[in-house]
Structure 1
């Protein structure tokens, strides 16, 4: 593990995003770094596809969405 020097404005954005996503500042930065790396390695995949793939790889199973009756 090491120290990463980042711009103060980026740190402020990470802090704000971490509050919204209920992550620590370090966890938010790590999430953005991992997703960015995965995007660069898989340029044809979108964010939602990458997150869904990572969720499946972690064994997360989402329940089926039921259609709303009108």
Structure 2
């Protein structure tokens, strides 16, 4: 593990985003770094396509997950 120096402003944004996303600050930073790296390697893909590819490669299936609309229709 290494140390990465970032601005105080970016650290504050990481702190806020990590709270919203229920991640640690380090996990949020790692997520942003990973997504940025994948976006640079695959500029033709959208964020949602990158996430879908990651989910598919991890064999995650959303077929058994209910949507918000299904809860409100009940």
TM-score (norm 2): 0.84
**RMSD value, Cα:** 1.9
Aligned equivalents of 2:59 and 2:7: distance in 1? Answer: 35
Structure 1 gaps of 5+ residues are: none
Superposed counterparts of 1:1-70, under 5 Å: 1-63=1-63
Aligned equivalents of 2:17 and 2:55: distance in 1? Answer: 20
Structure 2 gaps of 5+ residues are: none
1:16-67 CA distance string (max 9 Å, x none): 0000000000000000000000000000000000011001111111116789
Q: Which runs of 4+ in 1 moved over 6 A?
A: 64-69
Secondary structure in 2 matching 1:62: coil
Aligned positions, number? 69
